[in-house]
Amino acid sequence: MTTNTFFDWTLILDEGLKPVIDERNKIMVLIDRSIELNAVIWLDEHNIIQLKPTWDCVISIDDKNKAITIKHADSLRVND
Residue 41: C-alpha distances to residues 16, 22, 29, 76 (Å): 17, 10, 6, 22
- pTM, whole model, 2 decimals? 0.72
| Residue 38 domain flag | yes
Q: Are 28 and 19 in contact (CB under 8 A)?
A: yes
| Residue 80 domain flag | no
What would the pLDDT profile of 51-70 be if each residue is shown by its tens digit?
888 777 888 889 899 999 98
pLDDT for position 26: 93
CA neighbor of 12 nearest in space, from 21, 2, 20: 2
pLDDT at 3 over 80: yes
Report the DSSP pairing between strands 9-13 and 18-22: unpaired
What would the pLDDT profile of 26-50 be if each residue is shown by its tens digit?
999 988 877 677 788 899 999 888 8
- How many structural domains is the chain composed of? 1
DSSP-assigned beta bridge partners for residue 52: 40
Q: Are 59 and 69 in contact (CB under 8 A)?
A: yes
**Domain range spanning residue 14?**
2-75
| Residue 27 domain flag | yes
